[in-house]
A and B are shown apart, each in its own frame.
Chain A
Amino acid sequence: MALSTIVSQRKQIKRKAPRGFLKRVFKRKKPQLRLEKSGDLLVHLNCLLFVHRLAEESRTNACASKCRVINKEHVLAAAKKSRG
């Protein structure tokens, strides 16, 4: 499995999906439901996209407020925007 990739920022990002974690979370939240085989991969994809959007939004907020660091407020505003 692709464990990590070296990106331009010299950060090691694990591209592996925490399948066990996702399955466990789903089981805990909805024990009566079953998740299909590749379903957790799609859930992981969904999470990736969500996190990506959230990060982009937070970054936009931070840049809008001319801060060099992403603050809690930026993240909150982004979350509010996406979820309401």
Chain B
Amino acid sequence: MADHNPDSDSTPRTLLRRVLDTADPRTPRRPRSARAGSCALGTLMWLWNLRGTGLERLRCLGARRALLETASPRKLSGQTRTIARGRSHGARSVGRSAHIQASGHLEEQTPRTLLKNILLTAPESSILMPESVVKPVPAPQAVQPSRQESSCGSLELQLPELEPPTTLAPGLLAPGRRKQRLRLSVFQQGVDQGLSLSQEPQGNADASSLTRSLNLTFATPLQPQSVQRPGLARRPPARRAVDVGAFLRDLRDTSLAPPNIVLEDTQPFSQPMVGSPNVYHSLPCTPHTGAEDAEQAAGRKTQSSGPGLQKNSPGKPAQFLAGEAEEVNAFALGFLSTSSGVSGEDEVEPLHDGVEEAEKKMEEEGVSVSEMEATGAQGPSRVEEAEGHTEVTEAEGSQGTAEADGPGASSGDEDASGRAASPESASSTPESLQARRHHQFLEPAPAPGAAVLSSEPAEPLLVRHPPRPRTTGPRPRQDPHKAGLSHYVKLFSFYAKMPMERKALEMVEKCLDKYFQHLCDDLEVFAAHAGRKTVKPEDLELLMRRQGLVTDQVSLHVLVERHLPLEYRQLLIPCAYSGNSVFPAQ
């Protein structure tokens, strides 16, 4: 306890410390008279001189306790015996406490333990005080400490010997943990009580009165402490209400998402034909997918309200299907790949159907958003885009849902794509999507035609499975080849940063084919020039130098660092590692 008593500048702790430091293995009674010159005595005398408040008395008592404690470890039995004897009449409580201290834990010399000891000795009747006064004190004390004990369960009870003190110990310890303000008030009360109780000579009565006052003080604040410490009361944790709607939505999304994830893992590269239209539509679609999560809430509402155009309804199932932006792409890819793989790329119809389905899914959201925008009658540009998208999705959606339109779908798709390729659509889709998202938040307008198409997009999921075994075209040759090429085609469209026509993407594919052919020929020539049959990285570097990519200023390693991810960089660029090793080995 660190009482900062405003009355004096020294605290009991400092006093006790001083006492402890200078304590001699002697009884406190004797040192009181014998240690005239010692510092401890000086403090004691000073303390005794300051008998103004109970605190001083407490300090004295504490000092005495400290002395006792220091004394007891050194000469246990003798000291205690002498102390006990010396204090037979006087503060029997003190002797009791000393005995307790001696027998109990001796290492603890903290003010807390001192106070505890004081309190332990408190119930002992003081010689000087009348019994009547003492009796009622222990009674309430026993009651309240027990209460306190119950309230503060885990208090240290380091003295097992005495039972009654144990009940009081929590009472003592708990207040000991209290802060200064409380203790001050407590002491004030105790002081008043103590003063009122004992007007006798303050020699030995002080101890008992102090303890009694302390007991009283410690007893009383048990209740106010709880009142004064509202922070200690256990508060129920603040919990936000669970948004059941969002939770259910997430459940649905996650339940539908895993298939996409599976597809994503197994087929990193979409099927060739699927890839190009996907690439083409990726621009308008991916922003849609990006806005998916935001649109989910609106999409749900749109579904529920569900009048109007058919296009919007697929948006919801699309949202169902693609919980995340990545998964949407993967899902579309996987779906298209599966559908294309089943039907064969030679057949345009199923491809287009699958494309439309995937596109529809991906575009539904954008459509739904655009629809909502249209319904909300937001800016003209957005309406245009919405219209453009609606046209696209209308054609695609109707085709996709029908699944039987076949040829009509492809043509419609082309037209729709052509329309969608109109200026307002793709380039401004990111901004428009953001705006749409805002609109969605602002206007959860009833989505047009959600109900109609909501069922339809669900059907395509089931309907798609049957079409898969429809036709098995020449799978081995072109599929993986085009699948690999589509990877670079996608990169092309990414680098271009502009919307592209499908024919342009096909052209890119042809260019890539030619490029690979040329590449292999060059490498063969270089390897043969070096007299090797294995193409080594040096050949590659020579090739890039001839292409003008690698110059004297720009080395191959620089290009590797710039364009390849870390894992590949580590494989390509020799780096020194611990143990005097270089990887990859040169």
The residues of A with any CB-CB pair to B shorter than 8 Å are 1-4, 7, 9-18, 21-22, 24-26, 29-30, 32-39, 41-52, 54-56, 58-59, 62, 68-72, 74-76, 79, 83
CA distance A2 to B353 in the complex (A): 32
CA distance A29 to B572 in the complex (A): 24
- Residues from chain B with Cβ under 8 Å of A33 in the complex: 520, 523-524, 527, 533-535
Contact flags B561-586 to A (C-beta < 8 A → 1, else 0): 00111111001100000000000100
Assess whether B535 is in contact with A54, with CB atoms less than 8 Å apart: no
CA distance A25 to B521 in the complex (A): 12
What are 26 of the A-B contact pairs (CB < 8 Å)? A9-B494, A10-B290, A10-B325, A18-B487, A21-B480, A21-B483, A25-B516, A26-B520, A33-B524, A38-B571, A38-B584, A39-B536, A41-B571, A42-B537, A45-B563, A46-B543, A48-B564, A49-B547, A54-B508, A56-B495, A69-B498, A71-B501, A71-B504, A72-B507, A75-B507, A83-B514
Assess whether B496 is in contact with A58, with CB atoms less than 8 Å apart: yes
Residue from the list A1, A25, A36, A68 in contact with B423, Cβ < 8 A: A68
Whether a CB of chain A sits under 8 angstroms from the CB of B518 is yes
**Minimum CB–CB distance for B512 against chain A, Å:** 7
**Minimum CB–CB distance for B385 against chain A, Å:** 13
**Minimum CB–CB distance for B23 against chain A, Å:** 71
Whether a CB of chain A sits under 8 angstroms from the CB of B240 is no
Assess whether B535 is in contact with A36, with CB atoms less than 8 Å apart: yes
CA distance A3 to B481 in the complex (A): 20
Assess whether A18 is in contact with B497, with CB atoms less than 8 Å apart: no
CA distance A46 to B516 in the complex (A): 10
- Residues from chain B with Cβ under 8 Å of A36 in the complex: 534-537
Given A35-B534, A45-B564, A50-B515, CB of A11 within 8 Å of CB of B494: yes
Assess whether A30 is in contact with B520, with CB atoms less than 8 Å apart: yes
Q: Which residue of A lies closest to B506 (CB)?
A: A72
8 Å CB interface, B403-444 against A = 421, 423, 426-427, 430
**Minimum CB–CB distance for B34 against chain A, Å:** 84
Given A45-B563, A51-B495: 11 more A-B contacts, CB < 8 Å: A1-B567, A14-B490, A15-B565, A21-B480, A29-B517, A33-B527, A36-B536, A45-B544, A49-B559, A51-B512, A69-B501
- Residues from chain B with Cβ under 8 Å of A17 in the complex: 564, 568
Assess whether B511 is in contact with A79, with CB atoms less than 8 Å apart: yes
Assess whether A69 is in contact with B492, with CB atoms less than 8 Å apart: no
- Residues from chain B with Cβ under 8 Å of A2 in the complex: 565-567
**Minimum CB–CB distance for B545 against chain A, Å:** 11
CA distance A37 to B326 in the complex (A): 31
Assess whether A38 is in contact with B514, with CB atoms less than 8 Å apart: no
**Minimum CB–CB distance for A75 against chain B, Å:** 4
- Residues from chain B with Cβ under 8 Å of A74 in the complex: 504
Residue from the list A16, A30, A45 in contact with B524, Cβ < 8 A: A30
CA distance A26 to B537 in the complex (A): 15
- Residues from chain B with Cβ under 8 Å of A21 in the complex: 269, 480-481, 483-484, 487
**Minimum CB–CB distance for B416 against chain A, Å:** 15
Whether a CB of chain A sits under 8 angstroms from the CB of B155 is no
Contact flags B470-497 to A (C-beta < 8 A → 1, else 0): 0000000000110110011011111111
Assess whether A10 is in contact with B287, with CB atoms less than 8 Å apart: yes
Assess whether B499 is in contact with A70, with CB atoms less than 8 Å apart: yes
CA distance A22 to B269 in the complex (A): 13
CA distance A36 to B325 in the complex (A): 37
CA distance A49 to B537 in the complex (A): 16
Residue from the list B484, B504, B541 in contact with A22, Cβ < 8 A: B484
CA distance A34 to B517 in the complex (A): 16
Assess whether B325 is in contact with A12, with CB atoms less than 8 Å apart: yes
**Minimum CB–CB distance for A67 against chain B, Å:** 9
Q: Which residue of B lies closest to A18 (CB)?
A: B484
Q: Which residue of A lies closest to B559 (CB)?
A: A45
Whether a CB of chain A sits under 8 angstroms from the CB of B530 is no
CA distance A1 to B564 in the complex (A): 11
Assess whether B540 is in contact with A16, with CB atoms less than 8 Å apart: no
Given A12-B329, A26-B520, A47-B488, CB of A59 within 8 Å of CB of B498: yes
Assess whether B492 is in contact with A55, with CB atoms less than 8 Å apart: yes
Q: Which residue of B lies closest to A68 (CB)?
A: B423
Assess whether B514 is in contact with A34, with CB atoms less than 8 Å apart: no
Residue from the list A3, A39, A58 in contact with B537, Cβ < 8 A: A39
- Residues from chain A with Cβ under 8 Å of B516 in the complex: 25, 29, 47
Whether a CB of chain A sits under 8 angstroms from the CB of B337 is no
Residue from the list B494, B500, B523 in contact with A7, Cβ < 8 A: B494
Whether a CB of chain A sits under 8 angstroms from the CB of B159 is no
Assess whether A51 is in contact with B326, with CB atoms less than 8 Å apart: no
Whether a CB of chain A sits under 8 angstroms from the CB of B466 is no
Assess whether A54 is in contact with B492, with CB atoms less than 8 Å apart: yes
Assess whether B481 is in contact with A69, with CB atoms less than 8 Å apart: no
**Minimum CB–CB distance for A32 against chain B, Å:** 7
Residue from the list B499, B543, B566 in contact with A69, Cβ < 8 A: B499
CA distance A82 to B560 in the complex (A): 22
Assess whether A42 is in contact with B565, with CB atoms less than 8 Å apart: no
- Residues from chain A with Cβ under 8 Å of B290 in the complex: 10
- Residues from chain A with Cβ under 8 Å of B539 in the complex: 39
- Residues from chain B with Cβ under 8 Å of A1 in the complex: 565, 567
Assess whether A39 is in contact with B514, with CB atoms less than 8 Å apart: no
Contact flags B140-161 to A (C-beta < 8 A → 1, else 0): 0000000000000000000000
Assess whether B496 is in contact with A11, with CB atoms less than 8 Å apart: no
- Residues from chain B with Cβ under 8 Å of A51 in the complex: 488, 491-492, 495, 508, 512
- Residues from chain B with Cβ under 8 Å of A71 in the complex: 501, 503-504
CA distance A47 to B549 in the complex (A): 12
Q: Which residue of A lies closest to B569 (CB)?
A: A41
Assess whether A72 is in contact with B535, with CB atoms less than 8 Å apart: no
CA distance A24 to B480 in the complex (A): 10
**Minimum CB–CB distance for B404 against chain A, Å:** 31
